[in-house]
A and B are shown apart, each in its own frame.
Chain A
Amino acid sequence: MSKSTYNLVCGMEVHAELKTNSKMFCGCKNDPFNASEPNIYTCPVCLGMPGGIPVANKKAIEWTIKLGLALNCKINLFSKFDRKNYFYPDLPKAYQISQYDIPFCYEGVIETSFGPIRITRIHLEEDTGKLLHKRIKGEEVSLIDFNRSSVPLIEIVTEPDIKSPEQAKEYGKALRDIIRYLEIGDCDMEQGGMRLEANISIRKEGETELPSYKTEVKNINSFRFVEQAIKYEMERQEEILEAGDIPQQETRGWDAKKSVTFSQRTKEDAEDYRYFPDPDLPPIRFTTEQIEKIRAELPELPTALIKRWKDQYQVEERFSELLFSSPTEAKWLEDLFILVQKENIEANKIANALANKKISYQQTDKPIDVVNRYKSANATDDISDEEFISVIKEVIKNNTDAANRYKAGENQLINFFFGQSMRALGKKVDATHLRKLLQQELEK
């Protein structure tokens, strides 16, 4: 029997911390990665002390909806927070406030070069504290830092639309870029500001039904690792399927050192989180007007912007891509493009000059100053056509052999004549004009 070809069936769950000033459910500072000491950004609420009551961070809710709109999601006008009950030392209340059946956003889509990926839902929850396992005075101890406790955390869940490890990587990066561009999160992967999880199964080519099992690989902290983990899982699962078995439904971890996944938890001991609506937090209601207001504040996203600049100002994508990473920077560029159009300079030329660092600039410069700088860098001496032609004729006369080869079809020799003419002129020249005249004289 010949070996079957298998295709990947994969959905992802991505967690990202939001960079609001304060935490999700209390007024403590939200800055766990820059805290000078553990447990300095804490209060009775995020420490889970008796009597602590959460109050929802409005900004975090708005930002979640903002991301949802950017990912073409529908928004639930009525939503609520639920308690997800489980015991872990980094979870001081013994429940995490999350969203169970009514997330803020649902049914969106994100484009990748491999095809679209549907977004199932985006919900908002709180992060946990951080456990540190250390050896102090010869003793193994576990320490808890609650600076991260109750930091706003969004979870973005996709449909099983991911068809290759490469697409998973691209999706992760695209999502990070959008979150950063919306200026709602830093997505610092190394610090844990963004965590990836892939639900992986494979099926025979041609099959359309979802496989009866999946493995969840959790807590992956790099795009490269997610790609590797999926590749590894595909091979591992294929071996099992080829042997006539079905891979076990389980949670697996990623061992970055050995580049393998390993079993963490099987379904038998899957937890029952006893979800129920958090009675401390009143349900949240939005009006269509409020959602539209958030939509109106949404910046034009990079992909759309780059395409529009191409159509409107003829700026090539390869330059645009290099020139901005925030809406503020995009706005500055657009102002510049509008200005250069008025000045009869091609926007693409100035974009090229900026992208290739031919002229130095900062975002704090006024666009007009940058335009002037560009102009002076590209200024030409006033040279008459008579002067040009007499110099060109002289150069041709001194290089008759090359001139004949040019005529015989060695077109690239024009560059040689261009260089020679430039040197003979010894001035700043309009290159396009010189080239035109050279061509004209050489072809006589």
Chain B
Amino acid sequence: MLNTLTLKQALDKLEKKEITLGDLNSDVKSAIEKLNKDLNVYLTINEKKITQAEMSAPLAGLPIAVKDNYCTKDLKTTASSTVLDNFIPQYDSTVIAKLKKAGGHIVGKTNLDAWAHGSSTETSQYGRTLNPRNTDYLPGGSSGGSAAAVAADLCLASLGTETAGSIRQPSSWCGVVGLKPTYGRCSRYGVVAMASSTDSPGPIAKTVEDSAILLNYIAGHDKYDGTTSTQKVEDYTKYLDQNITGMKIGVLYTDIEGLEEIKEIFIDQVKVFEKLGATVEFIKAMDPHHAIGVYTIIQRGEVSSNLGRFDGIRYGNDRSFFGHEAKNRIMLGTYTLSKGYAHQYYNTAQKVRTLFIEDYKKLFKDYDVLVSPTSPGYAKKIGISESSAMFGELEDMLLEPSSIAGLPGISVPCYRDPKTNLYLGMNLVAPMFREDLVIKVGDAFEKNTKWNSWRNK
């Protein structure tokens, strides 16, 4: 089955003419036909044929899944909300335009928590997505569809977006690799805005190598997004297969309450770095619980402003189509930005955000990379998010500090529970624009452990 190939393997085999694009696509298509109905990964399948231009570009027309909050020209984009039930964008978001130019072919648009609000994909107004590793469980979110599409081999790689955990947490739950680039590394232009000050588009892939390949094509300055950096985009694949001897790795959050279930396993996995010649130290950082408050205040405020445009006047359905979660967030955000409260909430949150940034600066003086569990535990059973209003925030607690600080991070599989077939992820974080470091260390870990299901079939 050619759909089980990694992006890199497929590119090599195509080049050597060992496989054809037609065969590969028909395998992907039949996998989708077989599984999508149950998993509910894709909301829309792209019916357009692969173009000659895509085939002759570097990614050779290979099938890539795209989260349904990227505007795709002439292809329905809903952000999993029925407010945009019939919205067909007139333009491609910058990352999508770059992906197409590089020869990536959009297979379809994947499910997410409506407006990317959530960490379960259960708030999607088009139904929840199931975890392909074990369908009694959730895939995580908000990029749950994109992570599940990779895990189930319904594409070769996918694109997600992360505001605070939305790439890395579902990647962890689905046992795939999720790379959240530095804020400003990939353009937000054309991505349905969630929290504008932390939204970061990025790849979800089968291997660290595949995520580096994709990042090469989607990163870079964009004149349509003033928050993108003009810093040069490197060839991130240069940092694969590197020696990590002498690197300093700081381990965070292992002593936090709620991690009991996975603590021992995680600490055990961290030792791999010592075997590879790196130094590992267990260190203290600012309490991630504070990040929940900061993120909740800032994100709700920005959401309440960003969703104002969906008033049903110019396109889409009217406001009565908003789901419960979105309404919740709009109400809270409207309150925190209100006169008399903005200072108390939004401005204070911004100050605490600065404290996190300072804390990271201090830590990065002594360590090259900081690692922690991606999520406090394994994937949760379906229905869990419905009982907890702050479900996502608690699930993403370990990721929120680096998200609000705008740092790059990667989640790589670091354990598989043989009983449930569910995975744990390890989150690696580096300073701003040092994607090279998380790719280098993440790749070393992946290649020297048995947890990547494509490398260890």
Chain A residues in the interface with B (C-beta under 8 A) = 44-45, 47-56, 83, 85, 87, 89, 92-95, 144, 272, 274-276, 278-282
CA distance A53 to B95 in the complex (A): 14
Set A50, A93, A280: member contacting B84, Cβ < 8 A: A50
B90 & A50 in contact (Cβ 8 Å cutoff) = no
Q: Of A49, A52, A95, A280, which one neighbours B227 at CB under 8 angstroms? A: A280
* Interface bracket on B: 35 or more
Q: Is the CB of B91 within 8 A of A50?
A: no
**What's the least CB distance linking B304 to chain A, in Å?**
8
CA distance A54 to B334 in the complex (A): 22
Is there contact, CB below 8 Å, between B71 and A51?
Answer: yes
Shortest Cβ-Cβ A-B pairs, 8 listed: A94-B308, A279-B197, A274-B337, A51-B190, A279-B196, A50-B192, A55-B226, A51-B71
Contacts A53-B189, A85-B337; A281 near B226 (Cβ below 8 A):
yes
Q: Which residue of A lies closest to B339 (CB)?
A: A272
With A44-B190, A87-B311 as contacts: A50 and B77 at CB distance below 8 Å = yes
Q: A280 to chain B: closest CB distance in Å?
A: 5
Say yes or no: A55-B90 contact (C-beta < 8 A), given A47-B314, A50-B77. no
Interchain CB contact under 8 A, B193 and A50: yes
Contact indicator B342/A85 (Cβ below 8 Å): no
Query: Quick check: is B313 within 8 A (CB to CB) of the other chain?
Result: yes
Complexed CA–CA distance, A56 and B227 (Å): 11
Contacts of A51 in B (CB 8 A): 70-71, 89, 93, 188-193
**CA distance in complex: A431, B70 (Å):** 83
State the CA gap A1–B328 with chains docked (Å): 61
Contact B342 A274 (CB under 8 A): yes
Residue picked from A50, A51, A92, most chain B C-beta under 10 Å: A50
Closest approach, in angstroms, between the C-beta of A138 and any C-beta of chain B?
23
17 further contact pairs, Cβ within 8 A, besides A50-B192, A53-B224:
A48-B309, A49-B315, A51-B70, A51-B89, A51-B93, A51-B191, A53-B188, A53-B226, A53-B227, A87-B311, A92-B314, A94-B305, A272-B338, A275-B337, A276-B342, A280-B227, A282-B226
Shortest distance from the beta carbon of B322 to any chain A beta carbon, whole Å: 13
Interface SS of chain B: loop
A274, B193: Cβ atoms under 8 Å? Answer: no
Q: Would you mind naming 26 contact pairs between A and B with Cβ atoms under 8 Å apart?
A: A48-B309, A48-B314, A49-B315, A50-B84, A50-B89, A50-B192, A51-B188, A51-B189, A53-B226, A54-B226, A55-B223, A55-B226, A56-B226, A85-B305, A85-B337, A87-B308, A93-B308, A94-B305, A94-B308, A95-B305, A144-B314, A274-B304, A276-B301, A276-B342, A279-B227, A280-B193
* Cβ–Cβ < 8 Å partners of A95 in chain B: 305, 308
Determine which of B89, B91, B301, B311 lies in contact with A94 in the assembled complex, contact meaning CB atoms within 8 Å.
B311
A residues within 8 A CB of B87? 50
Determine if A44 and B301 form an interchain contact, defined as CB atoms under 8 angstroms apart: no
Taking a contact as CB atoms under 8 Å apart, the answer to whether A83 and B305 are in contact is yes
Is B302's beta carbon under 8 Å from chain A? yes
Contacts of A45 in B (CB 8 A): 224
Q: Say which residue of A50, A275, A279 sits within 8 Å of B342 (CB atoms).
A: A275
B225 touches A55 (CB 8 A): yes
Over the window 335-356 of chain B, the binary record of Cβ atoms lying under 8 Å from chain A Cβ atoms (1 yes, 0 no) is 0011100100010000000000
- Which residue, B193, B305, B311, has most C-beta atoms of chain A within 10 A? B305
CB distance from A32 to the nearest CB of B (A): 18
> Do A94 and B309 touch (CB < 8 A)?
yes
- Residues in chain B near residue A93, CB distance under 8 A: 308-309
Q: Inside 8 A of B311's CB, which chain A residues have their CB?
A: 87, 94
Complexed CA–CA distance, A55 and B224 (Å): 6
CB distance from B132 to the nearest CB of A (A): 29
Q: Once the chains bind, are A276 and B309 in contact (CB under 8 Å)?
A: no
Residue B370 CB within 8 A of the other chain: no
List residues of B (307-322) whose CB comes within 8 Å of A's CBs.
308-311, 313-315
Chain A residues within 8 Å of B225, by CB: 53, 55, 280
A50 contacts B226, CB within 8 Å?
A: no
Closest to A56 in B: B226
A274's contact among B71, B191, B305, by CB below 8 Å, is which? B305
Q: Is B79 an interface residue (CB 8 A)?
A: yes
| Complex interface bits, B179-205 against A, C-beta within 8 A gives 1, otherwise 0 | 000000000111111011100000000
B84: A residues at CB distance < 8 A: 50
Distance, CA A280 to CA B191, complexed state (A): 12
Q: Which residues of A contact B226 (CB under 8 A)?
A: 53-56, 280-282
Contacts of A279 in B (CB 8 A): 195-197, 227, 302
Residue of B nearest to A86 (CB): B308
A51 to B, closest residue via Cβ:
B190
- Which among B227, B308, B313, B338 is the interface contact of A282 at CB below 8 angstroms? B227
- B193 proximity list for chain A (CB < 8 A): 50-51, 53, 280
Residues of A within 8 A of B346 (CB): 276
Report the separation of the CA atoms of residues A162 and B338 in the bound assembly, to the nearest whole angstrom: 33
Q: How far is the CA of A201 from the CA of B223 in the complex (A)?
A: 47
> Roughly how many angstroms separate A406 CA and B337 CA in the complex, as a whole number?
87
CA separation between A23 and B287, bound complex, in Å? 44
User: In chain B between 193 and 224, which residues have their CB closer than 8 angstroms to a CB of chain A?
Assistant: 193, 195-197, 223-224
A-chain residues with CB within 8 Å of residue B197 when the two chains form the complex: 279
A82 CB, nearest partner CB in chain B, Å = 11
Report if A280-B90 is in contact (Cβ < 8 Å); known contacts: A47-B314, A53-B189. Answer: no
Known: A85-B337, A276-B301. A50 touches B308 (CB 8 A): no
Which residues of B lie under 8 Å from residue A144 when comparing CB positions? 314
A274 touches B334 (CB 8 A): yes
For residue B189, which residues in chain A have a CB less than 8 angstroms away from its CB?
51-53
Given contacts A274-B342, A279-B197, A279-B302, contact A89 B313 (CB under 8 A): yes
Chain A nearest CB from B230 CB (Å) reads 12
Closest Cβ neighbor of A85 among chain B residues: B305
Instruction: State whether B196 touches A274 (Cβ < 8 A).
Output: no
Residues of A within 8 A of B308 (CB): 85, 87, 93-95
* Chain A residue at minimal CB-CB distance from B93: A51
Count chain B CB atoms within 10 A of each CB in A47, A53, A85, A280 and give the residue with the most: A53
With A and B bound together, what is the CA distance between A89 and B318 in angstroms? Answer: 13
**In the bound complex, do residue A280 and residue B196 qualify as a contact, i.e. CB atoms below 8 Å apart?**
yes
Which single residue of chain A is at the shortest CB-CB distance from B340? A272
Cα separation A51 to B192 with both chains bound (whole Å): 4
- The residue of chain B having its C-beta at the shortest distance from the C-beta of A278 within the complex is B196
A residues in contact with B315, CB < 8 Å: 49
A27 to chain B, nearest CB (A): 9
Complex Cα gap A93–B304 (Å): 12
Contact across chains for B190 and A276 when beta carbons are under 8 A apart:
no
User: Which residues of A lie under 8 Å from residue B302 when comparing CB positions?
Assistant: 276, 279
A-contacting residues, B60-81, CB 8 Å: 70-71, 77, 79
- Bound complex: CA A92 to CA B315 (Å): 11
What separation, in Å, do the CA atoms of A281 and B342 have in the docked complex?
19
B81-107 CB mask vs A (1 if < 8 Å, else 0) is 000100101110100000000000000
